Amino acid sequence: MTSRDEVGRLAKAFNSMSEELEQRMETISTDRNKLVAILSSMVEGVVAIDQDERVLHLNQVAAEMLDVPDGNQEGRPIWELTRVREACAILSRAIRDRQDLSQELTLSSMDGDRSLVLRACPIHDSSRDVVGAVLVLHDVTEESRFEVVRRDFVANVSHELKTPLTAIRGYVETMVDDAEMDGETRARFLDRIRSQVLRLGTLVTDLLTLSRLDSRDDHVDFHRMDLRQTVTESVHGLRGKAETKGLSMSVDIGDAPLWLVGDPEAMRQLIDNLVGNAINYTPSGGWVRLRLSADEEEARLQVSDNGVGISPKDRERVFERFFRVDKARSRELGGTGLGLAIVKNVALAHGGSVSVDSELGRGTTFTVRLPLTGPES
Ligand code: ADP
């Protein structure tokens, strides 16, 4: 239309209106796509409903957390889609009470428990009327698990430190109260105090080793080292202990150096702990065997014994901090329950791994694998 009369002007107005409308539609559609892209890439689950509790939006994570059937669920009531009643209830309450709400929730399933934090808030329109609600679901399973591990660890450390301290205090108070105590009893008490102090010392050393391994800048102590050399030095120190207990100890470590990048002190603790355990948990008359072998890429250290063995149930837990199959027996032998946790951490810090193979009453083999570097690198 090019005429200059009313019809022409009207047509022009229509044209510019339709252009404007098209532009607005495009902006709305771009904004919506952006929003959907953001919501679908979030690690949190998000559900938005209107005031009739019908779904406006539900991202993939929320669908999975709330076990919502596949497909487009827009427009369907939320309570029809999920069996997680708490999610529906908190959304309804946010609409009814017009306020932000939060709640923790544990969902049990075949794959284990899942801890969620739910946060719901009402959606307002421009005149401040509530027209729906949004729910954000945050998976805190890992955090909860770490928190439990941390709490258990602190409780264990406190308990382990308190036991020898209580004993020392008992001996000291008895000695202070009894000025007439005969020399023999006094010497016996002092000897017990000394062994409790040694125990405290071992415990603190093990805790410091673990904390050093846990801290990230640990690699500053790493340098090129010959694993065979470290094994030789460790074995030298432990032979006497095996002999005193009446155990035969065989060592097969070849004669070529095995180069890796690591911390020799930590590696020595790894070997000492494995061989020390093999000696401790094998009755006299038994044997302890240490083998070191390698292919082009990795070294394999095996420590075997024909001692008491570890049941399959306990085998899964022996690398946990403070886990001991027989607490009293381990204490008697001077154990802290941290030895194998240190072994595992040292192996992991060196890019390696540790595994255990055992049969109750027949013996145990621990295998440590460590990546090697070339001779010149
Ligand atoms: P501990 O200081 O008690 O020896 P560890 O962390 O070194 O602590 O070992 C954890 C537990 O694993 C021990 O208490 C013991 O029950 C079991 N264990 C470790 N090594 C052996 C082994 N060679 N034979 C049998 N049991 C073992």
Average pLDDT rounded to a whole number, residues 59-83: 92
Q: Is the predicted pLDDT of residue 341 greater than 60, yes or no?
A: yes
Q: Is the predicted pLDDT of residue 218 greater than 90, yes or no?
A: no
Q: Ligand 1 within 6 A of 275 CB?
A: no
Least confident of 34-43, 56-65, 238-247, 328-337: 328-337
Q: Is the predicted pLDDT of residue 355 greater than 90, yes or no?
A: yes
Q: Ligand 1 within 6 A of 160 CB?
A: no
Q: Ligand 1 within 6 A of 330 CB?
A: yes
Q: How confident is the model at residue 217 (pLDDT cuts 50, 70, 90)?
A: low
Average pLDDT rounded to a whole number, residues 150-157: 91
Q: What is the pLDDT of residue 149?
A: 86
Q: Ligand 1 within 6 A of 308 CB?
A: yes
Q: Ligand 1 within 6 A of 318 CB?
A: yes
Q: What is the pLDDT of residue 6?
A: 85
Calpha distance 283→116 (Å, rounded): 49
pLDDT in tens, 327-339: 888 888 888 899 9
Nearest to 90 by CA among 102, 104, 74: 102
Task: Give the ligand 1 atom nearest the CA of 323.
Answer: 10
Residue nearest to atom 11 of ligand 1 (CA): 324
Q: What is the pLDDT of residue 1?
A: 58
Task: Give the ligand 1 atom nearest the CA of 325.
Answer: 16
Q: Is the predicted pLDDT of residue 128 greater than 70, yes or no?
A: yes
Point out which residues pair with 117 in neighbouring strands.
104, 138
Q: How confident is the model at residue 2 (pLDDT cuts 50, 70, 90)?
A: low
Nearest to 47 by CA among 140, 139, 136, 131: 136
Q: Is the predicted pLDDT of residue 377 greater than 60, yes or no?
A: no
Average pLDDT rounded to a whole number, residues 141-167: 91
Calpha distance 300→298 (Å, rounded): 7
Q: Ligand 1 within 6 A of 228 CB?
A: no
Ligand 1, from 340, 355, 357, 362: best to mutate by most atoms within 8 Å of Cβ?
Answer: 340
Q: Is the predicted pLDDT of residue 376 greater than 70, yes or no?
A: no
Q: Is the predicted pLDDT of residue 239 greater than 80, yes or no?
A: yes
Q: Ligand 1 within 6 A of 304 CB?
A: no
Point out which residues pair with 336 in neighbouring strands.
none
Backbone angles phi, psi at 139, to 5 degrees: -85, 115
Task: Give the ligand 1 atom nearest the CA of 336.
Answer: 2
Backbone angles phi, psi at 255, to 5 degrees: -130, 5
Phi-psi region of 337 (alpha: psi -120 to 50; beta: other; left: phi over 0): left
Q: What is the pLDDT of residue 8?
A: 87
Mean pLDDT of the chain: 92
Q: How confident is the model at residue 101 (pLDDT cuts 50, 70, 90)?
A: very high
Residue nearest to atom 7 of ligand 1 (CA): 339
Q: What is the pLDDT of residue 359?
A: 95
Buried b (16+ CB within 10 A) or exposed e, 70-82: eeebeebebbebb
Q: Ligand 1 within 6 A of 289 CB?
A: no
- Residue pair 135/119 in contact (Cβ under 8 Å)? The answer is yes
Å from CA of 305 to ligand 1 middle = 12
Backbone angles phi, psi at 49, to 5 degrees: -130, 160
Task: Give the ligand 1 atom nearest the CA of 335.
Answer: 2
Least confident of 95-104, 129-138, 205-214: 205-214
Average pLDDT rounded to a whole number, residues 217-240: 87
pLDDT in tens, 274-327: 999 999 999 999 999 999 999 989 999 999 999 999 999 999 899 999 999 988
Structure tokens at 284: 């006299």
Å from CA of 277 to ligand 1 middle = 6
CB atoms within 10 A of CB 236: 10
Token pair 């946790």 is found at 341
Token pair 């008992």 is found at 170
- Identity of the amino acid at 20: E
Average pLDDT rounded to a whole number, residues 217-235: 86
- Residue pair 139/114 in contact (Cβ under 8 Å)? The answer is yes
Residue nearest to atom 12 of ligand 1 (CA): 318
DSSP 367: E
Å from CA of 323 to ligand 1 middle = 8
